[in-house]
Chain A
Amino acid sequence: MATKKAARKSLSLAPVLDLNEANVLHGKLMGLRGNPLVIDASAVERVGALCLQVLMAGAKSWEEDKQSFTFAKVSDAFAKTTQLIGVNIDHLVAKEI
């Protein structure tokens, strides 16, 4: 039974987000659907395009679910890679108030 207000979940990303991790990450995200999600990308040392695809598809689905999907913390490598490949995550990064 879905509660009216789902509990916020969090997900810490692995340091290496390569081809092997894409399926794992996809599985984890699928298991977290329906809940607001906070992602911790502070430990990420390397991230590939496949995992970024999965994350962006996640953001899209969460948006459709009208749930929040935010990055609480991102590592320098993660931020630079998204910039490098032109994936804008600014709107997903939690702003300190």
Chain B
Amino acid sequence: MDMNEIKEIFFQECEEQLAELESGLLRLNDGDRDPETVNAVFRAVHSIKGGAGAFGLDDLVSFAHVFETTLDCVRSNKLEPTQDVLKVMLKSADVLADLTNVARDGGSVDQARSLQLIRELEALAKGEAPPAASALEPAAPKAAAAKPAAVAKAAPVEPVVNEHGFAPVAFSFDDFGSDDDETPGDLPAYDIVFKPKSELYTKGNEATLLLRDLSRLGEMSIHCNMDSLPPLDQMDPEAAYFSWKVSIKTDKGEDAVRSVFEFAEWDCDLEVTALETGETTESDSDDLPMQPVPFDLSALDGELDMPLGVVEEEEQIAAVQQAVAAAEAASNVVQMAASASRAAASDKGAATAAAQNNAQQASSAAAQTIRVDLDRVDRLINLVGELVINQAMLSQSVIENDSNGVSSINMGLEELQQLTREIQDSVMAIRAQPVKPVFQRMARTVREIADITGKSVRLVTEGENTEVDKTVIDKLAEPLTHMIRNAVDHGLETPEKRIAAGKNAEGTVKLTAKHRSGRIVIELSDDGAGINREKVRQKAIDNDLIAADANLSDEEIDNLIFHAGFSTADKVSDLSGRGVGMDVVKRSIQALGGRINISSKPGHGSVFTMSLPLTLAVLDGMVVTVAGQTLVVPLTAIVETLQPDAAAIHSFGATQRLISIRNSFCPLVDVGRILNFRATQANPVEGVALLVESEGGGQRALMVDAIQGQRQVVIKSLEANYTHVPGIAAATILGDGRVALILDVDAVVSASRGQSLQLESSLAAAG
């Protein structure tokens, strides 16, 4: 494993931590005050910092550090996580994500934004309201930041001028940069009680290293409590029995003392008490036999102390591999990145613990998940697809040669078919992922746009754990981002207008996902003003999209916004009016085999409904014959099939025909005619009608010549292998080896409404 692979694993881990961070902050924003939530948020930033330190990603480390310091204030109840505080934190989470992306992919971050947030975070940590933007220096590292406090404590000075005209000057030995000049007697003193738990050791942490680091802060004396140590035969060699009481005099401040233990704090009980200058330490009064710790501990400087940035990469890799081997017990790739941080981190032995801390979280997940390269899964899916086709071919040839269908081969084939189906379902399940990460990304989009537009917006998400194929998820983010932008920018009113309309000043955008009849349905609703139909209509007339006297239903007007180049914003804003219109959104959804619809209520907001296939790999379809061609109609679209009766067919206008079904009329659409497979309409009585429901809600009866059967087909992209064909969604290979086209039901239904399919002459060739 080379350094880049380990780094890649670190970035994957970062993605998870960032998601954890964001969902934790959002929970806090919703009023969750569970300390575990705060801890989870803190741990996420902490882990990113730990790993980033190992790879020398300084920008990431320094930002994470400031962020973490402020989070620590929340954790220790010094800072109340109010909405304002959380707003800064959510923005910081965004910047942290940006810094992580830049560290991985290159590029640059918005420095001004990052510096501004650092200042806001620091102000929060100091208990101040976030300052206004000004050109200040970026945050100093923790040690430096801790110094002024310690100095102030060490030398409290009154600004008075004495009789000789001299004013005392604040003075610190730190200014000389030498520890030797310190006068320990005057230094702040701390009492520390350190009780490791067994986990501290099992995670490869070492109390001796922590104590050594502590001893480097100043003059230290120690008492080891061995009271709980059992006799040899009753002891568990890997359990923690020793605990320590330490007195230390140091000018480095309490933060520095605590930071020694910061990576181990979940695995030990720690009490740090700052003593007033001159106060006798508790230990003195306890009469505990404190043992002074020698100054020269050079004999203990083991190989774990590998200064960052000095070691050659090869050495670093060797160290990482060593660490990985040691941590192999809880085998998980994430741990490797964690171990990397352990091996390469600075001489603060505490970094060792960072790795172990990460490893702890990783190992708890290790039991349930493994990371697999997506290519491998894709290969497997492809192979299973071929298996399905092969199995179908085999079935077909057996059926052709065994007309009565009773041979044992036939029986065996049925079982094989079931097995293949199960294998396919299982393989598909591997790729299924919750939509949560995409939804979380949307939270950021909402925040940013709300900031820019000055609107107050709340994003509510539901059904984030709804699973869908990874390819669908990957392609969902872009259209969704655009729709969210639209919803906030155009959909929601300004706070003033909302209040005037009697609404809450804060607008709500709701994003939900659910499974419905074998598809995933994603709804994006806002409680804004709704679509201004008059404006949309006028714009459509201006753009020659519709005739001035066209009689359109509300639904049809609403759907006009999906036309190319349609934008009703009077001014082209930075956000939505970037030339990417809703037509692009519609096209990307359609490219996924999905449909999108809008319904709007003036004054109450709009709802966009997207319906997408759960997978882009297979489809349950009805195989039909149309004008000698074999087509596949997605089963999810079909409501019922019927044999039309001559009496049920009614002519309507010049070319339209209706079919009467249970006392209601439904337009009859000849698929062969719409697709230009034949020049004239076929006789409905000789064919079969498939009653389909389009995403718009309307029903149509699609006329086909005959139904061949129903089967699962493996989708092969027509775009990738040939070219896009209007009215056709994709293609598949049938059991007899022929290519069959999969019908795009929505496109056919739209075409039947008068929006003609722009057929290409190549269609016949494709069939």
Residues in chain A within 8 A of chain B (CB atoms)? 18-19, 22-23, 25-26, 29-30, 33, 45-50, 52-54, 56-58, 60-61, 64, 75-77, 80-81, 83-88
Classify the secondary structure of A's interface with B: helix
Contact B300 A52 (CB under 8 A): no
Interface residues on B, range: 20 to 34
B353 to A: closest C-beta gap in Å: 13
B222 CB-CB contact with A under 8 Å = yes
Contact across chains for A29 and B235 when beta carbons are under 8 A apart? no
Task: Indicate if the CB atoms of B224 and A58 lie closer than 8 Å.
Answer: no
Given the known inter-chain contacts A30-B233, A61-B231, please indicate yes or no for A84 contacting B215, CB distance below 8 A.
yes
Write the nearest CB–CB distance from A22 to chain B, whole angstroms.
4
Nearest CB on B from A39, distance (A) = 13
Chain B residue numbers with a CB within 8 Å of A48 are: 201, 206-208
Give the docked Cα–Cα distance between A64 and B234 (Å). 13
Nearest 8 interchain pairs by C-beta: A86-B224, A86-B222, A26-B237, A61-B232, A22-B237, A49-B207, A76-B299, A57-B232
Q: How far is the CA of A1 from the CA of B211 in the complex (A)?
A: 45
B364 within 8 Å of A (CB atoms): no
Q: Please, could you name 21 A-B residue pairs with CB atoms under 8 Å apart, sorted by A?
A: A22-B237, A23-B237, A30-B233, A47-B208, A49-B201, A49-B206, A49-B207, A49-B208, A49-B240, A49-B242, A53-B242, A54-B232, A58-B232, A60-B231, A77-B300, A84-B215, A84-B300, A85-B208, A85-B224, A85-B244, A86-B290
Residues on B lying within 8 angstroms of A by beta carbon are: 196, 201-202, 204, 206-208, 211-212, 215, 222-224, 226, 229-233, 235, 237-238, 240-242, 244, 290-291, 293-294, 297, 299-300, 302
Closest to A26 in B: B237
CB distance from B20 to the nearest CB of A (A): 29
Across the interface, do B297 and A84 meet the contact criterion of CB distance under 8 Å?
yes
> Please, which residue of chain B has its CB at the minimum distance from the CB of A50?
B201
A85 touches B211 (CB 8 A): yes
Query: Taking CB as reference atom, which chain B residue is nearest A49?
Result: B207
Partner of A19, one of B204, B212, B222: B204
By the criterion CB–CB under 8 Å, are A81 and B300 in contact? yes
| Cβ–Cβ contact B232 & A33, under 8 A | yes
Q: Which residues of chain B are near A60, meaning CB under 8 Å?
A: 229, 231-232
CB proximity of A38 to chain B, nearest CB, Å: 17
The residue from B222, B238, B241 contacting A84, defined by CB atoms under 8 A apart: B222
A18 and B204 alpha carbons, distance in the complex (Å): 9
Q: Is the beta-carbon distance between B204 and A86 smaller than 8 angstroms?
A: no
Chain A hits for B241, CB < 8 A: 53, 57
Asked whether, in the complex, the Cβ of B297 is within 8 Å of the Cβ of A57, the reply is: no
User: Which residues on the A side are within 8 Å of B224 (C-beta)?
Assistant: 85-87
Contacts of A33 in B (CB 8 A): 232-233
Residues of A within 8 A of B232 (CB): 26, 29-30, 33, 54, 57-58, 60-61
Residue contact B222 to A85, C-beta cutoff 8 Å: yes
| B206/A83 in contact, CB under 8 A | no
- In the assembly, what is the distance between CA of A90 and CA of B77, in Å? 45
Given the interface pairs A30-B232, A58-B232, the reply to whether A22 lies near B207 with Cβ below 8 Å is no
- Give the residues in chain A near B226, CB-CB below 8 Å: 56, 87
Instruction: Report the separation of the CA atoms of residues A87 and B222 in the bound assembly, to the nearest whole angstrom.
Output: 9
Query: Are the CB atoms of A50 and B229 closer together than 8 Å?
Result: no
From the candidates A19, A23, A46, A56, name the one contacting B229 in the complex (CB within 8 A): A56
Q: From residue A53, how far is it (CB to closest CB) to chain B in Å?
A: 5
Query: Does B299 contact A50, Cβ atoms closer than 8 Å?
Result: no
B137 to chain A, nearest CB (A): 38
User: How far is A72 from B206 in the complex, measured between Cα atoms in Å?
Assistant: 26
Docked CA distance A45–B143 (Å): 31
Given A48-B208, A49-B206, A53-B229, CB of A83 within 8 Å of CB of B294: yes
Inter-chain CA distance A66–B206, complex, in Å, is 32
Set of chain B residues within 8 Å of A52, measured between Cβ atoms: 208, 242
How distant is the Cα of A50 from the Cα of B291 in the complex, in angstroms? 20
Given that A47-B208, A84-B300, A85-B222 are known contacts, is A54 also in contact with B242, CB under 8 Å in the complex? Answer: no
Residues of B within 8 A of A57 (CB): 229-232, 235, 241
